[in-house]
Amino acid sequence: MTTLNLSLTAEQRALQAGVAEICKRYPGEYWRELDQKREYPDAFVEELTRAGYLAALIPPEYGGAGLGLFEAGLILEEINRSGGNAGACHAQMYIMGTLLRHGSEAQKDAYLPKIASGELRLQAFAVTEPNAGSDTTKLQTTAVRRGDRYVVNGQKIFISRVLQSDLMLLLARTTPLAAVTRKTDGLSVFLVDIRSARGMEVRPLRMMMNHSTNALFFDNMEVPAEGLVGEEGKGFSYILDGMNAERILVASDSIGDGRWFVERAVAYSSQRVVFGRPIGANQGVQFAIARAHMAVAAADLMRNKAAALFDAGEPCGPEANMAKYLAAEAAWDAGNACIDCHGGYGYAEEYDVERKFREARLYKTAPINQNLVLAYVGEHVLGLPRSY
Ligand SMILES: Cc1cc2nc3c(=O)[nH]c(=O)nc-3n(C[C@H](O)[C@H](O)[C@H](O)COP(=O)(O)OP(=O)(O)OC[C@H]3O[C@@H](n4cnc5c(N)ncnc54)[C@H](O)[C@@H]3O)c2cc1C
């Protein structure tokens, strides 16, 4: 039976403390300056990588720590709870899983040890397209086999960290939609070596938050056939089974954000005196923060359940989706409570609240929007009729 631990072990606390120690060296000023310039937190990611945290999920035989998804979540949560933005580096943890589960021995031997050591970065995951959106099976990027290579044509939108990665996982159609029985068939996953890729244009997009996001254009980009991950045409299922890990890790980012907002709100409301008393003594202020704390704590429990199931190899789709939804909502409500209690200062850049507010908002939309989580729960968990 899968067990759900209600308190952290000494090792898990040490892991959290180790991450917190690194985060202390990257305070609000660091993230704020990068946010203004829309620059990547290279120094932070480099230090986190050198300390081995980004290789948490890579098995020891490939040079990683071989930890579970629960521990990986604790690492990301701690980064966001400290005021940083784990969105800059969380993707390697879940993208790597697709390579680990479905890659060939040759691919794993060639790449995983270098990813674990930090020699290579695999941080980009190219799925979303302008003409398909959330309806992934309608994606139009094609990969056509020509001898010992595939030729890729099409475009992607909102693909993050391409310019900060050596490797990218790409989902493309290898069999036309009209020629497959199930729309999920005929999609394939490729490991693209960005350093040697020709025929890929990367156009950075300035987004609401600092997220290193791009539009990609493929014009006869050639990928060697050995870049195919697993079997041709099975890519959708490979991507799907990485999605539970992604949802649980993103939920961890949100839980970290929620905790940061609550801690900041408590600290500020306890010392800001208006009408002769700390504003936190007013129930209009206090209750919003208390509600936010409870929602974050509840999302934390769901995230822990999802991670425990994942780590035990049990099905965890409902829990992973619910954790992502609940955590993103909890962080958003905590962000609003935090801005509200800060009054005008909540909008001042130097307080970091507005930056964290923008960063936390993303997880209501990506990697999957909240409506599609509700549709998943309605249809797949509760058995209600399908809407799409
Ligand atoms: C900063 C950022 C970084 C990103 N990074 C990546 C990345 O690295 N790789 C990647 O592949 N993608 C990435 N994305 C893309 C992200 O995953 C998508 O934006 C998201 O999945 C939604 O797709 P869409 O934008 O096309 O919205 P659409 O599919 O057009 O949907 C728009 C809205 O319509 C609603 N909606 C749509 N369909 C339904 C329905 N059936 N029922 C009810 N409501 C519905 C939802 O509210 C949804 O938010 C990123 C996005 C952002 C903003």
- Among 278, 240, 257, smallest CA distance to 87 is for 257
> What's the average model confidence in pLDDT over 152-168?
97
Q: Can you read off the two tokens belonging to residue 199?
A: 């025929």
Q: Tell me, in angstroms, the distance from the centre of ligand 1 to residue 376's CA.
A: 15
3-state secondary structure 8-22: CCHHHHHHHHHHHHH
pLDDT digits (tens, 9 = 90+) for 224-273: 999 999 999 999 999 987 899 999 999 999 999 999 999 999 999 999 99
Contact, 141 vs 173, CB < 8 A? yes
> What's the average model confidence in pLDDT over 19-28?
98
- 131 CB less than 6 Å from ligand 1? no
| Per-residue pLDDT, 387 | 87
- Among 191, 175, 266, 177, smallest CA distance to 223 is for 191
> What's the average model confidence in pLDDT over 89-109?
94
Amino acid at 48: L
Contact, 230 vs 308, CB < 8 A? no
- 290 CB less than 6 Å from ligand 1? no
For the CA atoms of the chain, what is the radius of gyration?
A: 21
* 3-class secondary structure, 304: helix
Residue whose CA is at the smallest distance from ligand 1 atom 9: 159
pLDDT digits (tens, 9 = 90+) for 33-67: 999 999 999 999 999 999 999 999 999 999 999 99
The neighbouring-strand residues paired with 173 are 142, 187
Residue 175's CB is within 10 A of a number of other CB atoms, namely: 14
pLDDT band at 299; cut points 50, 70, 90: very high
Q: Which atom of ligand 1 is nearest to the CA of 160?
A: 8
pLDDT band at 333; cut points 50, 70, 90: very high
- 211 CB less than 6 Å from ligand 1? yes
| Per-residue pLDDT, 5 | 82
Residue whose CA is at the smallest distance from ligand 1 atom 49: 369
Whether 127 has a pLDDT exceeding 80, the answer reads yes
- 366 CB less than 6 Å from ligand 1? yes
pLDDT digits (tens, 9 = 90+) for 169-224: 999 999 999 999 999 999 999 999 999 999 999 999 999 999 999 999 999 999 99
- 85 CB less than 6 Å from ligand 1? no
- 127 CB less than 6 Å from ligand 1? yes
The rounded distance, in Å, linking the Cα atoms of 115 and 92 is 9
Residue 281's CB is within 10 A of a number of other CB atoms, namely: 12
| Per-residue pLDDT, 254 | 98
- In the chain, the largest separation of any two C-alpha atoms, in whole Å, equals 78
Whether 297 has a pLDDT exceeding 80, the answer reads yes
pLDDT digits (tens, 9 = 90+) for 334-354: 999 999 999 999 999 999 999
- 365 CB less than 6 Å from ligand 1? yes
- 167 CB less than 6 Å from ligand 1? no
- The pLDDT mean for the chain works out to 97
Identify which has the larger pLDDT, 3 or 264: 264
| Per-residue pLDDT, 282 | 98
> What's the average model confidence in pLDDT over 122-134?
96
- Among 40, 51, 41, smallest CA distance to 75 is for 51
Q: Which atom of ligand 1 is nearest to the CA of 387?
A: 41
- 159 CB less than 6 Å from ligand 1? yes
Whether 310 has a pLDDT exceeding 90, the answer reads yes
Name the DSSP class of 135.
-
> What's the average model confidence in pLDDT over 322-339?
98
Distance of CA 280 to the CA centre of its chain: 33
Contact, 248 vs 320, CB < 8 A? yes
pLDDT band at 4; cut points 50, 70, 90: confident
* 3-class secondary structure, 232: coil
Whether 388 has a pLDDT exceeding 90, the answer reads no
Which residue in this structure is represented by tokens 């493309």? Answer: 172
| Per-residue pLDDT, 216 | 98
